[in-house]
Structure 1
Amino acid sequence: MTALTDYQVDARGVASITLNRPEKHNAFDDTMIAELIDHLHQAQDDNQVRVLVLKSRGKNFSAGADLAWMRSMADKNYDENIADSQQLSKLMADLNDFSKPTIALVQGAAFGGAVGLAACCDIVLAQENTSFCLSEVKIGLIPAVISPYVIAAIGARQARRYMLTAERFFAEQALQVGLVHQICDDFDAALERLLDALLNNSPAALDACKQLIAEVSAQPLGEPLRNLTIERIAAIRVSEEGQEGLTAFLDKRPARWTQPKNH
Protein backbone atom coordinates (compact mmCIF):
# COMPACT_ATOMS: atom_id res chain seq x y z
CA MET A 1 0.00 0.00 0.00
CA THR A 2 1.32 3.44 -0.97
CA ALA A 3 2.12 5.71 1.98
CA LEU A 4 -0.17 8.71 2.34
CA THR A 5 2.62 10.81 3.84
CA ASP A 6 6.35 11.36 3.36
CA TYR A 7 8.99 11.96 6.00
CA GLN A 8 12.48 13.35 5.37
CA VAL A 9 15.26 15.00 7.39
CA ASP A 10 17.91 17.19 5.76
CA ALA A 11 21.53 17.74 6.79
CA ARG A 12 20.59 20.76 8.93
CA GLY A 13 18.16 18.75 11.02
CA VAL A 14 15.04 20.12 9.34
CA ALA A 15 12.41 17.37 9.27
CA SER A 16 9.57 17.56 6.75
CA ILE A 17 6.27 15.71 6.99
CA THR A 18 4.36 15.93 3.71
CA LEU A 19 0.72 14.98 3.19
CA ASN A 20 0.86 13.03 -0.08
CA ARG A 21 -2.64 12.34 -1.23
CA PRO A 22 -3.20 15.17 -3.75
CA GLU A 23 -5.78 13.24 -5.77
CA LYS A 24 -8.02 13.33 -2.67
CA HIS A 25 -7.04 16.89 -1.73
CA ASN A 26 -4.96 15.40 1.10
CA ALA A 27 -8.09 14.42 3.01
CA PHE A 28 -7.13 12.30 5.98
CA ASP A 29 -8.41 8.99 7.25
CA ASP A 30 -7.34 6.61 9.98
CA THR A 31 -4.34 5.43 7.92
CA MET A 32 -3.00 8.92 7.33
CA ILE A 33 -3.56 9.84 10.98
CA ALA A 34 -1.56 6.77 12.07
CA GLU A 35 1.25 7.65 9.67
CA LEU A 36 1.39 11.23 10.93
CA ILE A 37 1.57 10.07 14.54
CA ASP A 38 4.42 7.69 13.63
CA HIS A 39 6.34 10.45 11.84
CA LEU A 40 5.92 12.82 14.79
CA HIS A 41 7.29 10.19 17.16
CA GLN A 42 10.19 9.52 14.80
CA ALA A 43 11.05 13.23 14.64
CA GLN A 44 10.60 13.70 18.38
CA ASP A 45 12.98 10.85 19.18
CA ASP A 46 15.65 11.97 16.69
CA ASN A 47 18.18 14.20 18.45
CA GLN A 48 19.37 15.48 15.07
CA VAL A 49 15.98 17.03 14.29
CA ARG A 50 15.82 20.71 15.21
CA VAL A 51 12.77 21.99 13.31
CA LEU A 52 9.68 20.29 11.87
CA VAL A 53 7.90 21.49 8.71
CA LEU A 54 4.37 20.26 7.93
CA LYS A 55 3.29 20.65 4.32
CA SER A 56 1.39 18.92 1.54
CA ARG A 57 1.61 18.14 -2.16
CA GLY A 58 -0.92 19.36 -4.68
CA LYS A 59 -3.35 22.23 -4.92
CA ASN A 60 -4.79 22.00 -1.40
CA PHE A 61 -3.23 21.63 2.03
CA SER A 62 -6.05 19.33 3.19
CA ALA A 63 -9.79 19.03 2.69
CA GLY A 64 -10.12 17.65 6.23
CA ALA A 65 -11.69 14.26 6.87
CA ASP A 66 -12.01 11.79 4.00
CA LEU A 67 -15.65 11.22 3.00
CA ALA A 68 -15.35 7.45 2.90
CA TRP A 69 -13.79 7.45 6.36
CA MET A 70 -16.57 9.71 7.67
CA ARG A 71 -19.16 7.37 6.17
CA SER A 72 -17.56 4.40 7.93
CA MET A 73 -17.66 6.30 11.24
CA ALA A 74 -21.37 6.93 10.80
CA ASP A 75 -21.87 3.16 10.65
CA LYS A 76 -19.97 2.53 13.88
CA ASN A 77 -21.29 2.65 17.43
CA TYR A 78 -20.44 5.12 20.17
CA ASP A 79 -17.51 3.12 21.62
CA GLU A 80 -15.97 2.64 18.19
CA ASN A 81 -16.29 6.36 17.54
CA ILE A 82 -14.59 7.07 20.88
CA ALA A 83 -11.63 4.89 19.88
CA ASP A 84 -11.42 6.54 16.47
CA SER A 85 -11.57 10.06 17.90
CA GLN A 86 -8.83 9.21 20.38
CA GLN A 87 -6.43 8.72 17.48
CA LEU A 88 -7.22 12.11 15.97
CA SER A 89 -6.93 13.67 19.42
CA LYS A 90 -3.53 12.01 19.88
CA LEU A 91 -2.33 13.44 16.56
CA MET A 92 -3.36 16.96 17.53
CA ALA A 93 -1.83 16.68 21.01
CA ASP A 94 1.43 15.20 19.70
CA LEU A 95 1.78 18.01 17.15
CA ASN A 96 0.80 20.72 19.63
CA ASP A 97 3.19 19.37 22.30
CA PHE A 98 6.08 18.65 19.91
CA SER A 99 9.20 19.90 21.70
CA LYS A 100 10.89 21.46 18.67
CA PRO A 101 9.66 24.41 16.57
CA THR A 102 6.96 23.51 14.04
CA ILE A 103 6.06 25.35 10.84
CA ALA A 104 3.00 24.72 8.66
CA LEU A 105 2.91 25.69 4.97
CA VAL A 106 -0.77 26.00 4.05
CA GLN A 107 -1.86 26.42 0.43
CA GLY A 108 -5.22 26.11 -1.33
CA ALA A 109 -7.89 24.94 1.08
CA ALA A 110 -7.63 23.88 4.71
CA PHE A 111 -10.95 22.57 5.95
CA GLY A 112 -12.12 20.97 9.19
CA GLY A 113 -9.38 19.02 10.91
CA ALA A 114 -6.77 20.66 8.68
CA VAL A 115 -7.46 23.93 10.51
CA GLY A 116 -6.63 22.02 13.67
CA LEU A 117 -3.29 20.89 12.23
CA ALA A 118 -2.41 24.49 11.42
CA ALA A 119 -3.50 25.70 14.86
CA CYS A 120 -1.23 23.12 16.52
CA CYS A 121 1.88 24.43 14.75
CA ASP A 122 4.03 27.21 16.19
CA ILE A 123 4.24 29.19 12.96
CA VAL A 124 1.83 29.14 10.00
CA LEU A 125 2.59 30.49 6.53
CA ALA A 126 -0.24 30.77 4.01
CA GLN A 127 -0.62 31.98 0.46
CA GLU A 128 -2.87 34.92 -0.31
CA ASN A 129 -5.61 32.78 -1.83
CA THR A 130 -5.51 30.13 0.92
CA SER A 131 -8.95 29.52 2.41
CA PHE A 132 -9.99 28.04 5.73
CA CYS A 133 -13.27 26.60 6.91
CA LEU A 134 -14.50 25.01 10.13
CA SER A 135 -17.24 23.27 8.21
CA GLU A 136 -18.39 20.61 10.68
CA VAL A 137 -21.77 22.09 11.66
CA LYS A 138 -22.84 22.08 8.00
CA ILE A 139 -23.07 18.31 8.16
CA GLY A 140 -24.43 18.04 11.68
CA LEU A 141 -21.11 17.63 13.49
CA ILE A 142 -18.91 19.84 15.68
CA PRO A 143 -15.13 20.56 15.57
CA ALA A 144 -14.73 18.98 18.97
CA VAL A 145 -11.28 17.36 18.94
CA ILE A 146 -9.57 20.33 17.30
CA SER A 147 -11.43 22.97 19.31
CA PRO A 148 -8.88 23.41 22.16
CA TYR A 149 -6.14 24.20 19.67
CA VAL A 150 -8.22 26.38 17.35
CA ILE A 151 -9.61 28.39 20.28
CA ALA A 152 -6.09 28.78 21.69
CA ALA A 153 -5.00 30.15 18.30
CA ILE A 154 -7.88 32.50 17.45
CA GLY A 155 -9.65 33.02 20.78
CA ALA A 156 -13.17 32.12 21.85
CA ARG A 157 -14.69 35.27 20.33
CA GLN A 158 -13.52 34.49 16.79
CA ALA A 159 -14.28 30.79 17.27
CA ARG A 160 -17.90 31.71 17.99
CA ARG A 161 -18.17 33.18 14.54
CA TYR A 162 -16.24 30.73 12.41
CA MET A 163 -17.32 27.53 14.17
CA LEU A 164 -20.99 28.54 14.17
CA THR A 165 -21.27 29.97 10.65
CA ALA A 166 -18.99 27.41 8.98
CA GLU A 167 -18.20 30.21 6.53
CA ARG A 168 -15.10 30.14 4.40
CA PHE A 169 -12.49 32.75 5.26
CA PHE A 170 -9.25 33.64 3.54
CA ALA A 171 -5.65 34.21 4.50
CA GLU A 172 -6.04 37.91 5.30
CA GLN A 173 -8.82 37.17 7.80
CA ALA A 174 -6.83 34.22 9.16
CA LEU A 175 -3.91 36.59 9.69
CA GLN A 176 -6.11 39.09 11.53
CA VAL A 177 -7.53 36.49 13.93
CA GLY A 178 -4.16 34.87 14.66
CA LEU A 179 -4.42 31.55 12.83
CA VAL A 180 -1.80 32.60 10.26
CA HIS A 181 1.44 34.45 11.00
CA GLN A 182 2.50 35.46 7.49
CA ILE A 183 1.03 35.59 4.00
CA CYS A 184 3.54 34.85 1.24
CA ASP A 185 3.45 33.60 -2.33
CA ASP A 186 6.97 32.17 -2.17
CA PHE A 187 6.97 29.50 0.53
CA ASP A 188 10.59 28.56 -0.09
CA ALA A 189 12.03 32.02 0.53
CA ALA A 190 9.86 32.70 3.58
CA LEU A 191 10.61 29.26 5.01
CA GLU A 192 14.36 29.72 4.59
CA ARG A 193 14.24 33.02 6.49
CA LEU A 194 12.45 31.32 9.36
CA LEU A 195 14.81 28.36 9.34
CA ASP A 196 17.83 30.66 9.40
CA ALA A 197 16.40 32.34 12.49
CA LEU A 198 15.41 29.13 14.29
CA LEU A 199 18.59 27.19 13.54
CA ASN A 200 20.72 29.95 15.04
CA ASN A 201 18.93 29.59 18.37
CA SER A 202 19.78 27.21 21.19
CA PRO A 203 17.91 23.89 20.73
CA ALA A 204 17.56 23.45 24.49
CA ALA A 205 16.31 27.02 24.90
CA LEU A 206 13.73 26.52 22.15
CA ASP A 207 12.44 23.40 23.88
CA ALA A 208 12.31 25.21 27.23
CA CYS A 209 10.67 28.24 25.64
CA LYS A 210 7.90 26.12 24.12
CA GLN A 211 7.25 24.56 27.53
CA LEU A 212 7.26 28.01 29.13
CA ILE A 213 4.71 29.38 26.66
CA ALA A 214 2.39 26.41 27.22
CA GLU A 215 2.56 26.66 31.01
CA VAL A 216 2.37 30.46 31.29
CA SER A 217 -0.61 30.66 28.93
CA ALA A 218 -2.50 28.11 31.04
CA GLN A 219 -2.03 29.87 34.39
CA PRO A 220 -3.40 33.07 35.90
CA LEU A 221 -1.09 35.86 37.00
CA GLY A 222 0.00 35.38 40.57
CA GLU A 223 2.76 34.16 42.84
CA PRO A 224 2.80 30.53 41.56
CA LEU A 225 3.31 31.76 38.01
CA ARG A 226 5.99 34.23 39.08
CA ASN A 227 7.80 31.45 40.94
CA LEU A 228 7.63 29.22 37.88
CA THR A 229 9.26 31.89 35.69
CA ILE A 230 11.95 32.58 38.31
CA GLU A 231 12.81 28.87 38.50
CA ARG A 232 12.88 28.49 34.72
CA ILE A 233 15.30 31.37 34.07
CA ALA A 234 17.59 30.19 36.89
CA ALA A 235 17.61 26.64 35.51
CA ILE A 236 18.36 27.69 31.93
CA ARG A 237 21.17 30.05 33.04
CA VAL A 238 23.08 27.23 34.73
CA SER A 239 22.34 24.66 32.00
CA GLU A 240 25.01 23.54 29.54
CA GLU A 241 23.56 25.46 26.59
CA GLY A 242 22.76 28.45 28.77
CA GLN A 243 26.39 28.64 29.87
CA GLU A 244 27.60 28.18 26.28
CA GLY A 245 25.28 30.89 24.96
CA LEU A 246 26.24 33.43 27.61
CA THR A 247 29.95 32.69 27.21
CA ALA A 248 29.73 32.95 23.41
CA PHE A 249 27.89 36.26 23.69
CA LEU A 250 30.45 37.72 26.11
CA ASP A 251 33.35 36.37 24.03
CA LYS A 252 31.75 37.78 20.84
CA ARG A 253 31.87 34.43 19.04
CA PRO A 254 29.15 32.23 17.50
CA ALA A 255 27.57 29.68 19.84
CA ARG A 256 28.24 26.08 18.87
CA TRP A 257 24.68 25.48 17.64
CA THR A 258 24.70 28.29 15.04
CA GLN A 259 24.56 27.37 11.36
CA PRO A 260 27.28 28.27 8.84
CA LYS A 261 26.16 31.06 6.53
CA ASN A 262 26.83 29.08 3.35
CA HIS A 263 24.52 26.12 4.17
Structure 2
Amino acid sequence: MSNSSLTLNKDARGVVTLSINRSEIHNAFDDVLIAELIEALDSVENDSEARVLILQSEGKSFSAGADLRWMRRMADYTEAENKADAMELAALMKKLNTLNIPTIARVQGAAFGGGVGLVACCDIAIGSTKALFCLSEVRLGLMPAVISPYVVRAMGERPSRRYFLTAERFNAEEALRVNLLHDVVEESELDTAIEDITKNLLKGGGCALTAAKDLIFAVTSRPTTDELIEDTAERITKARASEEGKEGLNAFLEKRSPNWIKD
Protein backbone atom coordinates (compact mmCIF):
# COMPACT_ATOMS: atom_id res chain seq x y z
CA MET A 1 0.00 0.00 0.00
CA SER A 2 1.30 3.45 -0.87
CA ASN A 3 -0.15 6.92 -1.24
CA SER A 4 1.07 10.47 -0.70
CA SER A 5 0.52 10.26 3.06
CA LEU A 6 1.31 6.65 3.97
CA THR A 7 3.45 3.71 2.94
CA LEU A 8 2.89 0.17 4.14
CA ASN A 9 5.57 -2.45 3.51
CA LYS A 10 5.97 -6.05 4.69
CA ASP A 11 9.21 -8.00 4.64
CA ALA A 12 9.70 -11.76 4.23
CA ARG A 13 9.46 -12.25 8.01
CA GLY A 14 6.03 -10.65 8.20
CA VAL A 15 7.35 -7.43 9.75
CA VAL A 16 5.13 -4.58 8.56
CA THR A 17 6.39 -1.00 8.50
CA LEU A 18 3.72 1.70 8.42
CA SER A 19 5.21 5.12 7.64
CA ILE A 20 3.51 8.51 7.80
CA ASN A 21 4.89 10.63 4.98
CA ARG A 22 3.85 14.21 5.70
CA SER A 23 7.22 15.57 6.79
CA GLU A 24 6.47 18.99 5.27
CA ILE A 25 3.89 19.53 8.02
CA HIS A 26 5.70 17.50 10.69
CA ASN A 27 3.45 14.48 10.08
CA ALA A 28 0.42 16.21 11.51
CA PHE A 29 -2.83 14.42 10.86
CA ASP A 30 -6.28 15.37 9.67
CA ASP A 31 -9.51 13.50 9.02
CA VAL A 32 -8.20 12.09 5.72
CA LEU A 33 -4.99 10.71 7.25
CA ILE A 34 -6.93 9.27 10.20
CA ALA A 35 -9.19 7.37 7.79
CA GLU A 36 -6.15 6.16 5.82
CA LEU A 37 -4.43 4.96 9.00
CA ILE A 38 -7.54 3.03 10.06
CA GLU A 39 -7.72 1.43 6.61
CA ALA A 40 -4.02 0.49 6.78
CA LEU A 41 -4.39 -1.04 10.25
CA ASP A 42 -7.45 -2.98 9.09
CA SER A 43 -5.40 -4.45 6.24
CA VAL A 44 -2.63 -5.44 8.66
CA GLU A 45 -5.10 -7.04 11.06
CA ASN A 46 -6.58 -9.08 8.22
CA ASP A 47 -3.19 -10.23 6.94
CA SER A 48 -2.47 -13.67 8.39
CA GLU A 49 1.22 -13.32 7.48
CA ALA A 50 1.73 -10.08 9.43
CA ARG A 51 3.72 -10.70 12.63
CA VAL A 52 4.91 -7.30 13.90
CA LEU A 53 3.98 -3.68 13.07
CA ILE A 54 6.46 -0.82 13.24
CA LEU A 55 4.83 2.63 13.22
CA GLN A 56 7.17 5.37 12.08
CA SER A 57 7.28 8.74 10.36
CA GLU A 58 9.50 10.37 7.77
CA GLY A 59 11.43 13.56 8.48
CA LYS A 60 12.38 15.27 11.74
CA SER A 61 9.09 14.84 13.62
CA PHE A 62 7.14 11.76 14.64
CA SER A 63 3.83 13.67 14.63
CA ALA A 64 2.88 17.22 15.50
CA GLY A 65 -0.68 16.14 16.31
CA ALA A 66 -3.57 17.83 14.57
CA ASP A 67 -3.00 19.61 11.25
CA LEU A 68 -3.62 23.36 11.70
CA ARG A 69 -5.71 23.46 8.51
CA TRP A 70 -7.92 20.72 9.93
CA MET A 71 -8.23 22.63 13.21
CA ARG A 72 -9.37 25.73 11.32
CA ARG A 73 -12.07 23.69 9.60
CA MET A 74 -13.15 22.21 12.92
CA ALA A 75 -13.75 25.68 14.32
CA ASP A 76 -16.74 25.97 11.97
CA TYR A 77 -18.07 22.44 12.56
CA THR A 78 -21.40 21.81 14.19
CA GLU A 79 -21.47 19.89 17.48
CA ALA A 80 -22.50 16.76 15.60
CA GLU A 81 -19.65 17.15 13.10
CA ASN A 82 -17.14 17.66 15.91
CA LYS A 83 -18.44 14.56 17.68
CA ALA A 84 -18.10 12.49 14.50
CA ASP A 85 -14.54 13.78 14.03
CA ALA A 86 -13.61 12.90 17.60
CA MET A 87 -15.11 9.43 17.27
CA GLU A 88 -13.03 8.77 14.14
CA LEU A 89 -9.84 9.67 16.00
CA ALA A 90 -11.02 7.49 18.89
CA ALA A 91 -11.52 4.61 16.45
CA LEU A 92 -7.93 5.00 15.23
CA MET A 93 -6.51 4.96 18.77
CA LYS A 94 -8.58 1.93 19.73
CA LYS A 95 -7.59 0.06 16.56
CA LEU A 96 -3.88 0.71 17.13
CA ASN A 97 -4.10 -0.10 20.84
CA THR A 98 -5.83 -3.43 20.30
CA LEU A 99 -4.18 -4.54 17.04
CA ASN A 100 -3.82 -8.31 17.02
CA ILE A 101 -0.03 -8.29 16.54
CA PRO A 102 2.73 -6.56 18.54
CA THR A 103 3.30 -2.90 17.67
CA ILE A 104 6.44 -0.79 18.00
CA ALA A 105 6.56 3.01 17.84
CA ARG A 106 9.78 4.39 16.32
CA VAL A 107 9.93 7.92 17.74
CA GLN A 108 12.71 9.87 16.07
CA GLY A 109 11.56 13.40 16.89
CA ALA A 110 8.71 15.52 18.23
CA ALA A 111 5.43 13.87 19.21
CA PHE A 112 2.83 16.43 20.22
CA GLY A 113 -0.85 16.13 21.09
CA GLY A 114 -2.36 13.20 19.23
CA GLY A 115 1.15 12.07 18.32
CA VAL A 116 1.66 11.23 21.99
CA GLY A 117 -1.52 9.15 21.73
CA LEU A 118 -0.07 7.12 18.86
CA VAL A 119 3.05 6.40 20.92
CA ALA A 120 1.00 5.39 23.97
CA CYS A 121 -1.17 3.04 21.92
CA CYS A 122 1.82 0.99 20.72
CA ASP A 123 2.93 -1.99 22.78
CA ILE A 124 6.57 -0.92 22.72
CA ALA A 125 7.94 2.59 22.16
CA ILE A 126 11.59 3.30 21.38
CA GLY A 127 12.73 6.91 21.11
CA SER A 128 15.86 8.69 20.01
CA THR A 129 17.58 11.20 22.26
CA LYS A 130 16.07 13.87 19.98
CA ALA A 131 12.48 12.84 20.74
CA LEU A 132 10.36 15.56 22.33
CA PHE A 133 6.85 15.37 23.76
CA CYS A 134 4.06 17.78 24.58
CA LEU A 135 0.37 17.54 25.48
CA SER A 136 -0.39 21.08 24.44
CA GLU A 137 -4.19 20.98 24.18
CA VAL A 138 -5.02 23.19 27.18
CA ARG A 139 -3.11 26.06 25.61
CA LEU A 140 -5.63 25.91 22.77
CA GLY A 141 -8.56 25.87 25.18
CA LEU A 142 -8.97 22.13 24.65
CA MET A 143 -7.96 18.88 26.40
CA PRO A 144 -6.30 15.61 25.30
CA ALA A 145 -9.60 13.82 25.72
CA VAL A 146 -9.65 11.06 23.11
CA ILE A 147 -6.04 9.99 23.72
CA SER A 148 -6.32 10.22 27.52
CA PRO A 149 -7.20 6.56 28.26
CA TYR A 150 -4.02 5.41 26.55
CA VAL A 151 -1.68 8.17 27.71
CA VAL A 152 -2.78 7.95 31.35
CA ARG A 153 -2.48 4.16 31.21
CA ALA A 154 1.05 4.47 29.84
CA MET A 155 2.35 7.32 32.00
CA GLY A 156 0.24 6.96 35.12
CA GLU A 157 -2.02 9.47 36.83
CA ARG A 158 0.60 11.58 38.58
CA PRO A 159 2.73 12.53 35.54
CA SER A 160 -0.47 13.00 33.51
CA ARG A 161 -1.77 15.50 36.05
CA ARG A 162 1.35 17.56 35.49
CA TYR A 163 1.74 17.36 31.74
CA PHE A 164 -1.96 17.54 30.82
CA LEU A 165 -2.28 20.72 32.87
CA THR A 166 1.02 22.53 32.26
CA ALA A 167 1.43 21.58 28.58
CA GLU A 168 5.18 21.61 29.21
CA ARG A 169 7.47 20.02 26.69
CA PHE A 170 9.46 17.08 28.01
CA ASN A 171 12.38 15.22 26.53
CA ALA A 172 13.08 11.56 25.83
CA GLU A 173 14.69 10.91 29.22
CA GLU A 174 11.60 12.21 31.00
CA ALA A 175 9.37 10.17 28.69
CA LEU A 176 11.43 7.14 29.70
CA ARG A 177 11.07 8.00 33.39
CA VAL A 178 7.27 8.23 33.14
CA ASN A 179 7.04 5.02 31.04
CA LEU A 180 5.85 6.63 27.81
CA LEU A 181 9.02 5.23 26.21
CA HIS A 182 10.62 1.86 26.93
CA ASP A 183 14.12 2.75 25.71
CA VAL A 184 16.03 5.82 24.56
CA VAL A 185 18.97 5.51 22.17
CA GLU A 186 21.05 7.75 19.97
CA GLU A 187 19.37 8.51 16.67
CA SER A 188 22.03 6.53 14.81
CA GLU A 189 21.17 3.46 16.93
CA LEU A 190 17.38 3.70 16.62
CA ASP A 191 16.94 1.20 13.79
CA THR A 192 19.28 -1.30 15.46
CA ALA A 193 17.32 -1.05 18.71
CA ILE A 194 14.04 -1.59 16.86
CA GLU A 195 15.47 -4.57 14.99
CA ASP A 196 16.64 -6.15 18.27
CA ILE A 197 13.12 -5.81 19.71
CA THR A 198 11.61 -7.16 16.49
CA LYS A 199 13.84 -10.25 16.53
CA ASN A 200 12.75 -11.00 20.10
CA LEU A 201 9.09 -10.65 19.14
CA LEU A 202 9.51 -13.00 16.18
CA LYS A 203 10.72 -15.72 18.56
CA GLY A 204 7.23 -15.88 20.05
CA GLY A 205 4.40 -17.85 18.49
CA GLY A 206 2.00 -15.67 16.53
CA CYS A 207 -1.11 -16.94 18.35
CA ALA A 208 0.70 -16.74 21.69
CA LEU A 209 1.63 -13.10 21.11
CA THR A 210 -1.97 -12.21 20.29
CA ALA A 211 -3.23 -14.14 23.30
CA ALA A 212 -0.63 -12.59 25.62
CA LYS A 213 -1.63 -9.11 24.50
CA ASP A 214 -5.30 -9.90 25.08
CA LEU A 215 -4.40 -11.33 28.50
CA ILE A 216 -2.86 -8.03 29.56
CA PHE A 217 -6.08 -6.20 28.75
CA ALA A 218 -8.10 -8.87 30.55
CA VAL A 219 -6.23 -8.65 33.87
CA THR A 220 -5.26 -4.98 34.03
CA SER A 221 -6.92 -3.10 36.89
CA ARG A 222 -9.09 -6.09 37.81
CA PRO A 223 -9.14 -7.58 41.30
CA THR A 224 -7.84 -11.13 41.62
CA THR A 225 -11.24 -12.76 42.05
CA ASP A 226 -12.13 -16.42 41.61
CA GLU A 227 -13.64 -15.46 38.26
CA LEU A 228 -10.37 -13.92 37.06
CA ILE A 229 -8.35 -16.89 38.33
CA GLU A 230 -10.61 -19.27 36.42
CA ASP A 231 -10.38 -17.11 33.31
CA THR A 232 -6.57 -17.21 33.34
CA ALA A 233 -6.60 -20.99 33.93
CA GLU A 234 -8.89 -21.47 30.94
CA ARG A 235 -6.61 -19.35 28.77
CA ILE A 236 -3.51 -21.43 29.52
CA THR A 237 -5.51 -24.65 29.15
CA LYS A 238 -6.51 -23.66 25.62
CA ALA A 239 -2.96 -22.57 24.80
CA ARG A 240 -1.49 -25.89 25.93
CA ALA A 241 -4.00 -27.81 23.81
CA SER A 242 -3.41 -25.68 20.70
CA GLU A 243 -1.23 -26.78 17.79
CA GLU A 244 1.10 -23.88 18.43
CA GLY A 245 1.35 -24.68 22.12
CA LYS A 246 2.16 -28.34 21.43
CA GLU A 247 4.74 -27.36 18.83
CA GLY A 248 6.40 -24.90 21.18
CA LEU A 249 6.62 -27.39 24.05
CA ASN A 250 7.90 -30.21 21.81
CA ALA A 251 10.50 -27.90 20.27
CA PHE A 252 11.73 -26.94 23.74
CA LEU A 253 11.97 -30.58 24.88
CA GLU A 254 13.66 -31.60 21.63
CA LYS A 255 16.10 -28.67 21.82
CA ARG A 256 15.15 -27.28 18.42
CA SER A 257 13.55 -24.10 17.11
CA PRO A 258 9.75 -24.10 16.83
CA ASN A 259 8.32 -24.05 13.32
CA TRP A 260 7.37 -20.35 13.44
CA ILE A 261 11.00 -19.27 13.63
CA LYS A 262 12.42 -18.83 10.15
CA ASP A 263 16.15 -19.56 10.23
Give runs of aligned pairs for residues 204-215 of structure 1, distance below 5 A: 204-215=207-218
TM-score normalised over the length of structure 2: 0.97
Q: Which residue of 1 aligns with 2:260?
A: 257
Alignment-derived partner of residue 96 in structure 2: 95
Q: Is residue 229 of structure 2 the alignment partner of residue 226 of structure 1?
A: yes
Shift of residue 3, structure 1, vs aligned partner: 2.3
Which SS does the other structure have where 1:16 is aligned? strand
**TM-align CA RMSD:** 1.1
1:206-238 superposed Cα distances (whole Å, 9 cap, x missing partner): 000000001110422221211111111111011
Q: Judge conservation of contact 1:200–1:259 (CA < 8 Å) in 2.
A: no
Matches of 1:154 and 1:259, distance apart in 2: 36
Residue 4 of structure 2 is matched in structure 1 by 3
Deviation at 1:156, TM superposition (A): 1.2
Q: Write the mapping of 1:103-122 to structure 2, written as runs, cut at 5 A.
A: 103-122=104-123
CA distance in 1, matches of 2:126, 2:69: 29
1:81 aligns with 82
Q: Which runs of 4+ in 1 moved over 6 A?
A: none
Q: Which runs of 5+ in 1 are unaligned?
A: none
- How far residue 2 of structure 1 moved from its aligned partner, in angstroms, is 5.3
For 1:191 and 1:69, locate their aligned partners in 2 and report how far apart those are by CA, in whole Å.
32
**Separation (CA, whole Å) in 2 of partners of 1:227 and 1:155:** 28
Structure 1 equivalent of residue 243 of structure 2: 240
- Within 5 A, what are the aligned runs for 1:164-183? 164-183=165-184
Q: 1:216: which partner in 2?
A: 219
Q: How many residues align?
A: 260
Identity in percent: 53
Question: How many Å separate the matches in 2 of 1:6 and 1:236?
Answer: 35
Pairing of 1:183-222 with structure 2 (within 5 A): 183-185=184-186, 186-222=189-225
Deviations 1:232-251 (A, max 9, x none): 11110111100100011111
| Unmatched runs of 5 consecutive residues or more in structure 2 | none
